[in-house]
Structure 1
Amino acid sequence: MSDINVPIGSTLKKIRENKGYTQKEISDHMMARSTYTKFENDDITPTLSKYLSILDHMDMSHEEFIYLLNDFELGQKETILYLFKQLEKNPTLELVYEIIEKGETLVQKRYDQLTLDILNVCRGYAVLLEEHDLAKAKNYAQEVWDRMENLDKWYLAELHIINSILYLFDSDTAALLTERALETLTQYHHLEEATNLKISFLLHLTNLLMMDQKYEKALFYIKQMETESAKMDYAVMLATALIRKEVCMKKIGDTSATGLIERAIRIFDSLNKHTLKELVIKDPENFLNLYSNYPVKEIQSELLTSH
């Protein structure tokens, strides 16, 4: 909220009037009408409980209210977090360097540990995407993990960070971390962000398991990825799960579900994602694998609208 440039009270008043509510309707039983009037006049600041009650009676979320306070713009840190989450959908060098630029600007103004973590994550991504040097990228990821492993509990912000450094670990450890993350994310089952994050964890983990040739274990998580992607109607992630499923089944000699890659190709055709189709035909085993020497730049434009 450091970027807010509009007094809270005047914004509350404007929203209330635009929605046609009276001060009495907004104050309800939580506070005296005179107290609410003082909030609108910026004479006093509401407590957290009263602030949340006001928003509830105005049919508005905290996120939307903060967005309005910033004149329909994200704040500096909120912008960094927003862009960082886009990496799970669109891992491009252009986006990575945009986050690094904005993050460095913020930490020059004030200390912010989460932004420092994001900067190290993005520097690791830059190495993966530009130099294809997994060992060098792990140096940045290790700096992030040194802090994360000492936290008692992970919330959504921390889970986004951990997901982005999963390549730091061997595949078995990555699976344990993913299981812990998935269990935590079940508590956020009403939030679409949690489902997106769950699918992204499964995407990263199955990459690592397949690279270690642990195909049966990979299949266990691929099936979860398939289910979650289908439930959320995420076509590109569903197609990716189908591709990996057929690759792993062939590796273990299971031919009971052939034609999955062809089905994925049809999905890409229907979405006009012809580059992704070509990449599947060229190398299905490494499709969307950030951790191998894979031509990430070839899929940038296709991934941009993957969700």
Structure 2
Amino acid sequence: MLGELVKEIRGNKGLSQNYVLDSLMTQSAYSKFELGRTEIRASVFLNILNKLDMSLEEFKFLQNDYQFTIRDEIIHRFFYMSYNDETVLLEVNELAKEYLEKHQTQDYLIKEIYYLCQAFLTLLEKKDFTEASISANKVWERVSKRNMLYVMDLYLLNSILFIFPLETIFEIRKLVELSIEKYGNLFRLQRIRINMFINIAYLLMKEEQFEMAIDELEEAIIICRTEKTYIQLAICYIRKGVCLNRLQQQGNVWIDKGNQLLLAIEEDDLVQKLSNEIRQFIE
């Protein structure tokens, strides 16, 4: 029960009922809430959480015995991948499939994460953008109808950039940037900007637009340093080095710098993946 957990948290923090209820409701009504005898309005509950210095996300985590719900686990693991890790994608894909089958739910977000896992796995296994875009387009059909973008829309849009032509991607980015500006760095949204710059740079590299790709990577590097996102920073260094080499400039120093950073944080598998990517652009 919500009230019982609120009581436990309040007690552990050494706070009185009077401090928490703070004119939100009567003492009697609040006591009944903590005893699980009555429910309260959502607005009052959120105010109580504020008095407890606790986010709704943390409360849900405690409510689920110090772990994510399966749904939250799927969302967290998918959106906080630093790169398209095949092992993680396979695990999230299976979790999403089991969740949808078990709950027989119309949960659009989990369904779309399931589609996107399939799209990314297709890209990794077959290098087939056309087949992968079939799954990703299912997500775009819904998001494109939105008049306003919310946090999950921003994460989803960043995930499906690869299905669009570059001119469309730049227009989408303008919309994403405006939405992120409203949120600031709430929900770690600056990381979406990093991934967007990195993803666009990769698409530009595929089109052999190496100077433009470097511009994107330089923007990402600035944010990576601020946010201390070292995996993405290393990817930027390596891709910048590849671009410089293709422009007949000294790029190996950047490739070495990126590899050393990844080795220092023991991302050996990613070093190998990026080594394969380097060969792709050299050969």
Return closer, same or farther for 1:263/1:8 CA change in 2, 3 Å cut-off: same
SS in 2 for 1:259: helix
Structure-1-length-normalised TM-score: 0.82
SS across alignment from 1:44: coil
Which protein has the bigger helix share?
Answer: 2
What SS does structure 1 have at the residue aligned with 2:148? Answer: coil
Q: 1:103 aligns with which of 96, 114, 117?
A: 96
Q: Pick one of 152, 171, 186 that aligns with 1:157.
A: 152
Cα RMSD (Å) of the superposition? 2.4
Contact 2:82/2:232 (<8 A) preserved: no
Q: Is it true that 1:268 corresponds to 2:266 in the alignment?
A: no
**Structure 1 residues 169 and 102: CA distance shift in structure 2, 3 A:** same
Match of 1:126 among 114, 121, 124: 121
Task: Read off the aligned partner of 1:32 and give its amino acid letter.
Answer: T
- Residue range with higher mean Cα deviation, 278-287 or 38-47: 278-287
Q: Which amino acid aligns with 2:89?
A: V
1:247 is matched by which residue type in structure 2?
A: V
Indicate the structure whose relative CO is greater, using CA pairs within 8 Å and at least 6 residues apart: 1
* Distance in 2 of aligned mates of 1:280 and 1:17: 51
Change (3 A) 1:262 1:92: closer
Match of 1:296 in 2: none
Q: SS at the partner of 2:39?
A: coil
What's the secondary structure of 2:189's corresponding residue?
Answer: helix
Q: 2:134 aligns with which of 135, 139, 160?
A: 139
Report what 2:174 is aligned to.
Answer: 179
Contact 2:89 2:117 in 1 (8 A): yes
SS of alignment partner, residue 239 of structure 2: helix
Is the CA contact 2:61–2:67 (under 8 Å) kept in the aligned structure 1?
yes
Letter in 2 for 1:60: M
Any stretches of 5+ residues in structure 2 without a counterpart?
A: none
- From 32, 54, 64, the equivalent of 2:58 is 64
**Of the candidates 16, 23, 33, which is equivalent to residue 10 of structure 2?**
16
- In 2, the alpha carbon distance for the partners of 1:203 and 1:115 equals 25
Letter in 2 for 1:243: I
Identity %: 25
Q: Which amino acid aligns with 1:153?
A: M
Q: Is the 8 A contact 1:103 1:119 kept in 2?
A: yes
- Conserved 8 A contact 1:236-1:268: yes
Matched, 1:236 2:231: yes
Structure 1 pair 65/141, CA: closer, same or farther in 2 (3 Å)?
A: same
Query: Which residue of the partner structure matches residue 166 of structure 1?
Result: 161
Task: Indicate the SS of the match to 2:54.
Answer: coil
Q: How many residues align?
A: 279
Q: Distance in 1 between matches of 2:61 and 2:46?
A: 16
